[in-house]
Amino acid sequence: MKIVVLDGYTENPGDLSWAPLEAFGEVTVYDRTLSEAEAIERIRDAEVIFTNKTLITRAVIDACPSLRFISVLATGYNIVDYVYAREKGIPVANVPGYSTAAVSQLAIALLLEICHHAGHHSQTVHEGKWEKAVDYCYWDYPLIELDGKTLGIIGFGNIGRATGRIAKALGMKVLAHGSRPTPEGEAIAEYVDLDRLLKESDVISLHCPLFPETTEIINKNTIAQMKDGAILINTSRGGLVNEQDLTDALNSGKLYAAGLDVVSQEPIRSDNPLLKAKNCIMTPHIAWAPLEARKRIMSISADNLRAFLAGDPIHIVNG
């Protein structure tokens, strides 16, 4: 069986083994595949392909008559024309649930960085500011205590609930919106409508999928409903935020800070307005990427292929 991984570098930059996939056949791994034509050339006679962000379009599917199974090395699968794949009888699988702990951890890490600016203060110490200080301590930003404050979570699935549990352990009150109430969720948060969440939250963290109804859910109108000085965290999808409206809110002081791991176009473009926003901490879409989480991607991806070959496929998104 010929198996091709079209863009394996982000999943495995060298600290993992492809052995779980190699157990099923001849595996060819490409670090990156940068065009539709290149994808077609590389998988023309492949039976199984794995992709992370390489587009699998109708044209790619049509050019690869041997293709039997597509597995996405991620949870999101919009990079595959999965409807057309279904028409062609090709199941498409994804990897759900692998990054819950990792993403919730970074959401809180971004919030804590905003509260203490630990990275900035460490840098100033190494630059000599502390040794030259008149007083025994100093701080360059307001320091924020989270205990007693309210965190509003938009999207209360697995990652949202995990974030809420951490916040609750820090003494925060948690409000939730965007998912059906569950007993597990009700033990962590109070489910409320969006208007109340926006008005009452000191911090808002986004954990919802990017659907038409959630696109730019954070915009000048919803920002206007937020508390003055509120904080926004986004480790979900960049398209949830109108980036110019967020920039304006940060620069005007309406919002105190934002902690973002995602933007609307990635890699970020030099003309993204958030690069010039005040008090905006950004990381390069790394919430999902700890080694432990990537090991789970590899393991679940192998499970996806094993189940498909056994005739009982799992994690199929176009069934």
Residues 61, 203, single domain; the answer is no
| Domain annotation covers residue 318 | no
| Domain annotation covers residue 135 | yes
Question: Residue 141: its pLDDT value, please?
Answer: 96
Region 4-23: mean pLDDT is 98
Residues 153, 275, single domain; the answer is yes
Residues 278, 295, single domain; the answer is no
How many angstroms separate the CA atoms of 70 and 306, rounded?
13
| Domain annotation covers residue 190 | yes
Asked whether 90 and 68 are in contact (CB, 8 A), the reply is: yes
Residues 89, 64, single domain; the answer is yes
| Domain annotation covers residue 175 | yes
Instruction: Give the domain extent around 91.
Output: 2-96+291-309
Residues 106, 61, single domain; the answer is no
Q: What is the pLDDT of residues 90-102, one digit of tens each?
A: 999 999 999 999 9
Residues 224, 138, single domain; the answer is yes
Query: Is 36 a known active-site residue?
Result: no
**Given the residues 184, 266, 269, 292, the one annotated as active site:** 266
Query: Is 120 a known active-site residue?
Result: no
Q: What is the pLDDT of residues 33-55, one digit of tens each?
A: 999 999 999 999 999 999 999 99
| Domain annotation covers residue 314 | no
Number of independent structural domains in the chain: 2
Asked whether 206 and 154 are in contact (CB, 8 A), the reply is: yes
**Given the residues 237, 294, 296, 315, the one annotated as active site:** 237
Say yes or no to pLDDT of 179 above 90. Answer: no
How deeply is 312 buried, as exposed, middle or buried, from its count of CB atoms within 10 A (0-12, 13-18, 19+)?
exposed
| Domain annotation covers residue 22 | yes
Residues 25, 143, single domain; the answer is no
Q: What is the pLDDT of residues 188-229, one digit of tens each?
A: 999 999 999 999 999 999 999 999 999 999 999 999 999 999
Residues 140, 248, single domain; the answer is yes
Question: Residue 282: its pLDDT value, please?
Answer: 98
Largest CA distance in the chain: 73
**Given the residues 68, 120, 165, 285, the one annotated as active site:** 285
Residues 62, 113, single domain; the answer is no
Residues 146, 76, single domain; the answer is no
How many angstroms separate the CA atoms of 42 and 203, rounded?
46
Instruction: List CB contacts of 175: < 8 A, sequence separation 6 or more.
Output: 150, 151, 152, 153, 189, 190, 191, 192, 196, 197, 200, 201
Q: What is the pLDDT of residues 221-264, one digit of tens each?
A: 999 999 999 999 999 999 999 999 999 999 999 999 999 999 99
Per cent of the chain over pLDDT 90 is 99
Instruction: List CB contacts of 155: < 8 A, sequence separation 6 or more.
Output: 177, 178, 179, 206, 207, 208, 209, 214, 236
| Domain annotation covers residue 58 | yes
Residues 299, 151, single domain; the answer is no
As given in the structure block, the two tokens for residue 200 are 């009452």
How many angstroms separate the CA atoms of 194 and 173, rounded?
16
Confidence label for 283 from pLDDT (cuts 50, 70 and 90) = very high
Residues 27, 56, single domain; the answer is yes
Q: Quick one: CA torsion of 133, 134, 137, 140, rounded to 10 degrees?
A: -60
| Domain annotation covers residue 317 | no
Q: What is the pLDDT of residues 135-147, one digit of tens each?
A: 999 999 999 999 9
Query: Is 266 a known active-site residue?
Result: yes
Tell me the pTM: 0.95
Confidence label for 154 from pLDDT (cuts 50, 70 and 90) = very high
Query: CATH number for the domain including 23?
Result: 3.40.50.720
